[in-house]
Amino acid sequence: MHIILLGAPGTGKGTQSKFITEKYKIPQISTGDILREHIKLNNEIGKKIYSILKNGELVADDIVCNLVYQTIKSKNYINGFLLDGFPRTIKQAKYISNLGIKINFVLELIVPDKIILQRISGRRIHIQSGRSYHIHFNPPIEEGKDDITKDDLITRDDDKIESINNRLKNYKKNSHMLTEYYLKEEQLNNLKFFKIDASKHQDYIRKEIQIILDKKN
């Protein structure tokens, strides 16, 4: 099964990805996590993209497409994967289509901006695993610590108001074209496209996703 998870920052892509990958036994490909890993390694790509991520701008299509390609050609991804945060531009959407991989589902998570700001401002993450918490909505068992490893949780560099606004602006600039693209693909019977009200409790969204994936699988 190949799934694409679309959604503005803070709509819960990372949170729901964890559920989907565990339930359906497919690996997650989060372009945000991959890019942050390069920054952490401080390699050539990492140096190039550091300020782009910090400011909430989009990384160039060729860099991101190449990183996705390098990931999916590994044997762990042969039986399917979940793309979290990719594609974000029409060029990226066409790139993945042109690879000849059959995408089964595109799920778009939708949340009003006001709630997005509340979610991102309270987010804490476990950088090693990508596990995401919220100080009020999804607190860790022990304050400031990952539930499993007990490592310290951190606030992301780009979870500052200016970068959040840029991330939202970039999402809105591209999302209309992406939605149109996938609606057309659905009309051609190439995939199933669902918009999900993701402003509800995460358990409710999880159930909704499960119903979609189980029924149509």
Active site members: 13, 88, 123, 156, 167
Which residues, 6 or more positions from 12, have their beta carbon under 8 angstroms from its beta carbon? 109, 111, 119, 198, 202, 205
Q: Contacting ligand AP5 (CB under 6 A), which of 31, 38, 126, 131?
A: 31
Taking the complex as a whole, how short is the minimal distance between the CB of residue 189 and ligand AP5, in angstroms? 26
Per residue in 39-66, is it b (16+ CB within 10 Å) or e — as a string? beeeeebbeebbebbbebbbbebebbbe
Q: What are phi and psi of 158, to 5 degrees?
A: -95, 10
Is residue 206 part of the contact set for ligand AP5 (CB under 6 A)?
A: no
Fill in the DSSP letter of residue 55. T
Is residue 119 part of the contact set for ligand AP5 (CB under 6 A)?
A: yes
Answer whether 112's CB lies under 8 Å from 127's CB. no
Q: Contacting ligand AP5 (CB under 6 A), which of 2, 13, 131, 192?
A: 13
Other C-beta atoms lying within 10 Å of the C-beta of residue 214: 10
Is residue 192 part of the contact set for ligand AP5 (CB under 6 A)?
A: no
Residue 26 vs 83, nearer CB to ligand AP5: 83
- Using the structure block, give the residue that is written with the tokens 């042109």: 98
Residue 177 vs 217, nearer CB to ligand AP5: 177
- Which residues here bind ligand AP5, judged by CB under 6 A? 7, 9-15, 31-32, 35, 52-53, 56-59, 64, 85-86, 88, 92, 119-120, 122-123, 132-134, 137-138, 158, 167, 201-202, 205
